[in-house]
Amino acid sequence: MSLDSKTPSGPLAEKWTRYRGTMNLVAPNNKRRIDIIVVGSGLAGASAAATLGELGYNVKCFTFHDSPRRAHSIAAQGGINAAKNYANDGDSVYRLFYDTIKGGDYRSRESNVYRLAEVSRNIIDQAVAQGVPFARDYGGLLDNRSFGGVQVSRTFYARGQTGQQLLLGAYQALSRQIALGTVEMYNRHEMLDLVLVDGKARGIVARNLVTGKLERFAAHCVVLGTGGYGNVFYLSTNAMMCNVTAAWRAVRRGAYMANPCFTQIHPTCIPQSGEYQSKLTLMSESLRNDGRVWVPKNPEDAKAIREGRKTGNDIPEEERDYFLERRYPAFGNLVPRDVASRAAKIACDEGLGVAPTGLAVFMDFSAAIERYGKSKANAMGLHNPGAEKIRELGEAVVSEKYGNLFEMYEKITGENPYKLPMKIYPAVHYTMGGLWVDYNLETNIPGLFAIGECNFSDHGANRLGASALMQGLADGYFVLPYTIGQFLSNEIRTPKFSPDAKEFVDTANETRQRLEGLMNVKGSQSVESFHRRLGKIMWEYCGMARNAEGLEKARKMIRELRDEFYKDVFIPGSLEEYNPELEKAHRVADFLELGELMIIDALNRNESCGGHFREEYQTEEGEALRNDEEYTYVAAWEYKGWAEEPALHKEELAFENVELKTRSYK
Amino acid sequence: MKLTLKIWRQKAPNAKGRFETYQVEANPHMSFLEMLDVLNEELIAKKEEPVVFEHDCREGICGTCSMVINGEPHGPMAGTTTCQLHMRHFRDGETIVIEPFRASAFPVMKDLAVDRSSMDRIIQAGGYISVNTGAAQDANAIPVDKDTAAHSFDAAACIGCGACIAACPNASAMLFVSAKVAHLALLPQGKVEAKRRAQAMVKQMDLEGFGMCSNITACEAECPKGISVENIARLNREYLSSALGSETVA
Amino acid sequence: MSWFSDFLASSIGRKVVMSLTGLFLIIFLLIHLAGNLQLMDFIAHDPADEPGKAFNLYAKFMTTNPLIKAVSYLLYLSILVHAIQGWVLWSKNRKARGSQKYAVKVNKVADGNSFAASNMGWLGTIIFIFLLIHLYQFWLQMKLGKLPMAYYDGEEVKNLFFIVSEAYESLGYVIFYVLSMVAIAYHLDHGFQSAFQTLGINHRKYTPMIKWVGRAYSILIPLGFAVIPVYMYFFM
């Protein structure tokens, strides 16, 4: 099957406007007759469900949380990009488009990214109207800051809790529709399978997590906004319950998984402290606006710090290697995430790591504290303030900007980041890969749509900071509600589906068998222990740096682990009750399959680009070496059962508006 | 460090619960939930049922984690959720009592997990600004005073965990409700329907069976986000002005 | 008037009723104390010389002046409404809290007196019992009982001072009185500032002042009441 992106014709800047003006519509009286299932209630899911409800569709929205407000979008800290150019620093829709394409290392679809940049401006308007308390200046207008990989200030933020505030905005819009009855909300329901009727997505099987019973739901189409799969690495900055199950079940039913190996490793996370660790915590990228990243030049010093004989403060200025500033003078500490992460890894590989595990670099705010302190003293008219006073003033400014992040750091590590440089290390954060979708955000299964992090569409091989919130909301508020009409306008004569139809009952039976299969293994090892082992394999061989040999090995290991899982996993409790261990088991079972596909994809892509760094393909300076001749395509994988290799479908990427260049941040 | 845990175990919503005692070996760098993970792994190894507790982001922002530790929701550290609480704040050999959030409007589902959907229903009653997608004007069209915006943010920082309700001797939801009312009423965009909102949310709050606020301020003391009871006064103001001052008779 | 009954039945409406009646009772306490202080006028006079004249005249004024009479009905109503509403709230709040109590109880509050704040029901009940005894002993006697008479400049006045001073001769009664004043002090300590908060009066600049005045009021007023029987017990 060839992959048709359904990109409309015409000049890039006019594609979306023209398309919107000519696409098929569903009349209001027909909308009332059409049911839509939205799975997930994060930024993408909640905004889509709310907007579709406003339009008059009958929406059913599902989340496995106890409330739609808990979705992991809530944890996004730094901000949301929009090409508003309020800062008057030369920003434009084109520049945001260009930065995103370049940041994604030229592996994303031009038309989608341009549309994203266009609607980014509407998102900010919408969010402000909903009551999102963005940061403002004294004139009462919105404030912006800059983020990694770009040279303009286009990031809107609400302290270090932008994701929370945007999600609450969407959650409130959703709540309003729930109250109006246009959206029926199903909390504590986890989608475990997709139901196809005559090849079209018409419903889901979900497990009621409270009763443990399987329930069937029918609709005219299904929208997945179920997030990313970073938890395949076990340790990531994702929330504990983030999983790939909904998307993976769609893959098992024929949807294609695109670029699964494109994983974002975020450079500034709190390093792991022990084996018991359950998750990693991100420190917002915004910190790199003021934090300088360094390691000691001398391995002896690094060793002393690791052993606790010295602290970062004991290393004199001339003995420090500010490696990002040295390697990338143009962007310095603000290089994109993949570049910063890899540089930190290289430093640690050279034995310069500063945590007891050897896996951490410093992020230092003392220069910023001094700079802000001096400027504040100046503003206050203090002449010759002492070093103490400058520090005090500077710390106050830094606290105003990043106070909550510094507090969080101190809570977790027990160290005061105002006095000692922070220790950071990269961690899995986001997955650019996801379900393959066309310009309408529709997967190759008719009637199945994927939005937000769940799809692959906009970030190519690397996502720029503050773009995830933008994409989730763009899809949910401003893209899907239009494009879904392209499918639904042909369905207005389709009667409502009954969840008691054969297809639904059969799918539910298959799901039940799968769950019973897991319960009946009755082995001896916990689900958690398998997940942890899977994570180690993925991180070791399919993490920040990959090579063919390691990937081959990892694939074998995962297959063995999967066999062992089905022979020896132990799940306490029973099927029909509130059983978090069973929930986890099903998610890990799916991760064990996805992990292998990620490795297959990484093996297939014989180049380095963005978050995918193949050690065999690098420049002499250790930078990523793309192979545009052979790999300027989206790799969309079709699952064919593990007895067979998954089939590769290519969507060639045509770049008509930007020139493919080697990404340089020097 | 060696710890003794007394944990509330309850099979199902209407089952009788009781405290069970467990011993666990923890490490001071662990988070409280990681300590419970260790306990659960040990229970699973013994083929026993692990302790059910709710959690998700483990970054202190999603509001899912919800237990009462030694008599305090989210434990003894001010401004800290359970997931961000670390074992270094406990003594070696200490006995820790862990209970679910308790309130009539928060029925226990299993062990430490409670049903907090009552809070969702309060938001559904009016905790929003009625604006459809696409209807918004330019974001900078209405300036908002920086201090007011900050004030609004302070209230909007609520994570909806329910600690205020768990801590309140009256199981009142006033801090939660007032945080949303204040967040929106302080902004010009939300001011328009502030009166209607206060009415609707208080009405739903009363229906859900929460207690009444007698200004004890335990809620603020235990709130992991430090939401102030100033918001409750604002809610009272909004409510009085809408109940007595507005000409809408409903 | 359904909007009004809806308001009164709402959680905030009920609290507003508590707040307004409470504030009224707070003001009443000040006036009552001013009257009681006239018991002390024996200090200035020779005890043999018409003890309690000022107090008795004041008592007569309070029971006969039509305006005061009207206000007094409002006062009785306030006391009853405050007490009954208080008990209703108390019971509703206990129900909201649920039957399963916490095994470990911690009373951490952000501000104010946690003991007073979380025991307003008990404190109020103690005060109510005191009030019943108090009213029976003095108010009811003044209204219906047979009091000895005093004569000032030919005017016949009920000698309330006599039975008051008689009551204060009992050490047990003085102790009961003083303890009741302690209960009032705690009740006021929370009630005073809480009444303002319930009315929505909370301001970063002025609330600290309200709290300061409330604290002073809750100490000085009950202290003023308590000093009188103690002083009279020891020095009269």
Burial class (CB in 10 A: 0-12, 13-18, 19+), A516: exposed
Cβ(A425)–Cβ(A282) below 8 Å: no
Rg (C-alpha) for chain B, rounded Å, is: 20
Ramachandran angles phi, psi of A651, nearest 5°: -110, 110
Which chain A residues are Cβ-neighbours of B138 within 8 angstroms? 125
Contact check, Cβ <8 Å, B19/C13: no
DSSP string, C145-199: S---EEEETTEEEE-HHHHHHHHTT-HHHHHHHHHHHHHHHHHHHHHHHHHHHHT
3-state helix, strand, coil in chain A (%, to 5): 45, 15, 40
Task: CATH number of the domain at B23, please.
Answer: 3.10.20.30
- Is residue A337 part of the annotated active site? The answer reads yes
Higher pLDDT, C152 or A195: A195
The answer to whether residue A244 scores a pLDDT higher than 90 is: yes
The CATH number assigned to the domain with range A266-428 reads: 3.90.700.10
Residue A496: partners with Cβ closer than 8 Å, 6 or more residues away: A33, A35, A218, A220
Shared domain check, B74 and B165: no
In the DSSP assignment, the letter for residue A350 is T
Mean of pLDDT values over A236-251:
97
Q: Which residue of A has its CA nearest to B190?
A: A131
pLDDT class for B246, splitting at 50, 70, 90?
A: confident
Mean of pLDDT values over A416-425:
95
Residue A159 in contact with partner chain B when CB distance is under 8 A:
yes
3-state helix, strand, coil in chain B (%, to 5): 40, 15, 45
Residue B26: partners with Cβ closer than 8 Å, 6 or more residues away: B1, B2, B3, B35, B38, B87, B90
Indicate the SS3 state at residue A292: strand
Question: Mutating which of C4, C87, C104, C205 best tests the B interface, going by the most B Cβ atoms within 10 A?
Answer: C104
The answer to whether residue A397 scores a pLDDT higher than 80 is: yes
- Of B54, B135, B156, Cβ closest to residue A168: B156
Query: How far, in Å, CA of A45 to CA of A77, rounded?
Result: 19
Question: β-strands A361-364, A422-431: how paired?
Answer: antiparallel
Amino acid at residue number B204: Q
Under the phi-then-psi rule, with left for phi > 0, alpha for psi from -120 to 50, and beta for the rest, what region is A288? alpha
pLDDT class for C48, splitting at 50, 70, 90?
A: low
Q: What is the pLDDT of residue C148?
A: 87
Domain ranges of chain C: 8-93+110-235
For residue range A110-157, what is the model confidence (pLDDT) as tens digits? 999 999 999 999 999 999 999 999 999 999 999 998 887 788 999 999
Q: What is the pLDDT of residue A146?
A: 86
Query: How far, in Å, CA of A447 to CA of A208, rounded?
Result: 24
Q: What is the pLDDT of residue C1?
A: 63
Indicate the SS3 state at residue B24: strand
Residue B132 in contact with partner chain A when CB distance is under 8 A:
yes
Shared domain check, B57 and B12: yes
The answer to whether residue C41 scores a pLDDT higher than 80 is: no
- Of B48, B50, B140, Cβ closest to residue A86: B140
How close does chain B come to A487, measured CA to CA in Å? 21
Higher pLDDT, C47 or A161: A161
Cβ(A646)–Cβ(A256) below 8 Å: no
Q: In this structure, which CATH number among 1.10.760.10, 3.30.70.20, 1.20.58.100, 3.10.20.30 belongs to the domain A508-628?
A: 1.20.58.100
For residue range A468-486, what is the model confidence (pLDDT) as tens digits? 999 999 999 999 999 999 9
Residue A522: partners with Cβ closer than 8 Å, 6 or more residues away: A570
B77, B95, B110 - which closes a domain = B110
Amino acid at residue number A228: G
Indicate the SS3 state at residue A202: strand
Task: Give the B window 144-183 contacts with A, CB below 8 Å.
Answer: 144-146, 149-150, 152-153, 156-157, 159-160, 183
Contact check, Cβ <8 Å, B102/C98: yes
Q: Which residue of B has its CA nearest to C88?
A: B212
How close does chain C come to B229, measured CA to CA in Å? 9
For residue range A553-603, what is the model confidence (pLDDT) as tens digits? 999 999 999 999 999 999 999 999 999 999 999 999 999 999 999 999 999
Contact check, Cβ <8 Å, B104/C109: no
pLDDT class for B98, splitting at 50, 70, 90?
A: very high
Cα distances from C63 to residues C28, C58, C59, C132, in angstroms, run: 15, 9, 6, 19
Query: How far, in Å, CA of A434 to CA of A255, rounded?
Result: 10
Query: How far, in Å, CA of A186 to CA of A65, rounded?
Result: 9
For residue range C161-215, what is the model confidence (pLDDT) as tens digits? 888 988 999 999 999 999 999 999 999 999 999 999 999 999 999 999 999 999 9
Shared domain check, B172 and B228: yes
How close does chain B come to A85, measured CA to CA in Å? 12
* Bridge partners of residue B6, in order along the sequence: B21, B97
Q: What angle do CA B192, B197, B201 make, to 5 degrees?
A: 170
Q: Which domain holds residue B168?
A: 117-245
Contact check, Cβ <8 Å, A276/B37: yes
Shared domain check, B83 and B144: no
Query: How far, in Å, CA of C37 to CA of A665, rounded?
Result: 85
Would you say residue B15 lies in a domain?
A: yes
Share of chain A above pLDDT 70, in %: 100
Query: How far, in Å, CA of A194 to CA of A222, rounded?
Result: 9
Shared domain check, B137 and B83: no
Residue A481 in contact with partner chain B when CB distance is under 8 A:
yes
Residue B79 in contact with partner chain C when CB distance is under 8 A:
no
Higher pLDDT, A150 or B168: B168
Query: How far, in Å, CA of A279 to CA of A273, rounded?
Result: 10
Would you say residue B95 lies in a domain?
A: yes
Range A201-216 burial, b when 16+ CB lie within 10 A, else e: bbbbbbbbbbebebbb
Q: What is the pLDDT of residue C46?
A: 64
Rg (C-alpha) for chain A, rounded Å, is: 25
Higher pLDDT, C12 or C156: C12
Contact check, Cβ <8 Å, C96/B237: no
Query: How far, in Å, CA of A553 to CA of B131, rounded?
Result: 54
Look up residue A415 and give its two tokens: 């160290």
| Residue positions counted in chain C | 236
Burial class (CB in 10 A: 0-12, 13-18, 19+), A302: buried
Shared domain check, B106 and B193: no
For residue range B205-240, what is the model confidence (pLDDT) as tens digits? 999 999 999 999 999 999 999 999 999 999 999 999
Query: How far, in Å, CA of A186 to CA of C93, rounded?
Result: 31
Task: Give the B window 133-152 contacts with C, CB below 8 Å.
Answer: none
Contact check, Cβ <8 Å, B233/C98: no
Which chain B residues are Cβ-neighbours of C111 within 8 angstroms? 217, 220, 229
Query: How far, in Å, CA of A541 to CA of A537, rounded?
Result: 6
Task: CATH number of the domain at B239, please.
Answer: 1.10.1060.10
Total of domains in chain B: 2
Query: How far, in Å, CA of B127 to CA of B124, rounded?
Result: 6
Query: How far, in Å, CA of B56 to CA of A65, rounded?
Result: 9
Q: Which of A534, A532, A577 is nearest to A559 (CA)?
A: A534
Q: Which residue of B has its CA nearest to A85?
A: B140
pLDDT class for C47, splitting at 50, 70, 90?
A: low
B110, B145, B179 - which closes a domain = B110
Indicate the SS3 state at residue A221: strand
Q: What is the pLDDT of residue B51?
A: 98
pLDDT class for C151, splitting at 50, 70, 90?
A: confident
Question: Mutating which of B1, B42, B55, B62 best tests the A interface, going by the most A Cβ atoms within 10 A?
Answer: B62
B86, B110, B134 - which closes a domain = B110
Q: Among residues A159, A249, A327, A337, which one is catalytic? A: A337
Query: How far, in Å, CA of A474 to CA of A116, rounded?
Result: 6
Ramachandran angles phi, psi of A428, nearest 5°: -60, 135
Cβ(A285)–Cβ(A337) below 8 Å: yes
How close does chain A come to B81, measured CA to CA in Å? 10
Cβ(B245)–Cβ(B202) below 8 Å: no
Question: Mutating which of C97, C201, C206 best tests the B interface, going by the most B Cβ atoms within 10 A?
Answer: C97
Architecture of the CATH domain C8-93+110-235: Up-down Bundle (1.20)
Shared domain check, B105 and B125: no
Mean of pLDDT values over B99-105:
97
- Of B213, B216, B234, Cβ closest to residue C118: B216
- Of C89, C92, C111, Cβ closest to residue B217: C111
Which chain B residues are Cβ-neighbours of A276 within 8 angstroms? 27, 30, 34, 37-38
Would you say residue B139 lies in a domain?
A: yes
Residue B52 in contact with partner chain A when CB distance is under 8 A:
yes
Query: How far, in Å, CA of A64 to CA of B88, rounded?
Result: 32
pLDDT class for A230, splitting at 50, 70, 90?
A: very high
The answer to whether residue A1 scores a pLDDT higher than 60 is: no
Mean of pLDDT values over B94-99:
98
Q: Which of A401, A133, A396, A392 is nearest to A288 (CA)?
A: A401
Residue A180 in contact with partner chain B when CB distance is under 8 A:
no
The answer to whether residue B193 scores a pLDDT higher than 70 is: yes
Would you say residue B250 lies in a domain?
A: no
Residue A279: partners with Cβ closer than 8 Å, 6 or more residues away: A235, A236, A237, A238, A239, A240, B58
- Of C104, C118, C201, Cβ closest to residue B97: C104
Look up residue A229 and give its two tokens: 């799969």
Residue B129 in contact with partner chain C when CB distance is under 8 A:
no
* Average pLDDT of every residue of chain A: 95
Cα distances from A220 to residues A184, A440, A450, in angstroms, run: 15, 16, 15
Contact check, Cβ <8 Å, B48/A572: yes
Contact check, Cβ <8 Å, A570/B184: no
Task: Give the B window 200-239 contacts with C, CB below 8 Å.
Answer: 202-203, 205-206, 209-222, 228-230, 232-239
Look up residue A553 and give its two tokens: 């090995």
Q: Which of A194, A263, A253 is nearest to A223 (CA)?
A: A194
Q: What is the pLDDT of residue A324?
A: 96
Query: How far, in Å, CA of B223 to CA of B167, rounded?
Result: 9
Task: Give the B window 162-181 contacts with C, CB below 8 Å.
Answer: 167, 169-172, 174
* Average pLDDT of every residue of chain C: 92
Which residue intervals of chain A bear CATH 3.90.700.10?
Answer: 266-428
- Of B57, B116, B125, Cβ closest to residue A67: B116
In the DSSP assignment, the letter for residue A544 is S
The answer to whether residue C155 scores a pLDDT higher than 90 is: no
Q: Which residue of B has its CA nearest to A400?
A: B150
Dihedral (CA of A287, A288, A290, A296) sign: positive
Residue B22 in contact with partner chain C when CB distance is under 8 A:
no
Q: Which residue of C has its CA nearest to B168?
A: C97
The answer to whether residue A109 scores a pLDDT higher than 70 is: yes
Contact check, Cβ <8 Å, B120/A187: yes
Share of chain C above pLDDT 70, in %: 97
Q: What is the pLDDT of residue B250?
A: 59
Contact check, Cβ <8 Å, C93/B172: yes
Q: Which of B171, B67, B49 is nearest to B119 (CA)?
A: B171
Residue A163: partners with Cβ closer than 8 Å, 6 or more residues away: A43, A73, A74, A75, A76, A77, A469, B61
Question: Mutating which of B19, B66, B215, B239 best tests the C interface, going by the most C Cβ atoms within 10 A?
Answer: B215
Task: Annotate A386-409 with three-state secondary structure.
Answer: CHHHHHHHHHHHHHHHHHHHHHHH
Range C29-49 burial, b when 16+ CB lie within 10 A, else e: beebbeebbbbbbbeeeeeee
Q: Which residue of B has its CA nearest to A138?
A: B146
Burial class (CB in 10 A: 0-12, 13-18, 19+), B241: middle
Shared domain check, B233 and B124: yes
Query: Which chains border C (3 or more CB–CB pairs < 8 Å)?
Result: B
Query: Which chains border B (3 or more CB–CB pairs < 8 Å)?
Result: A, C
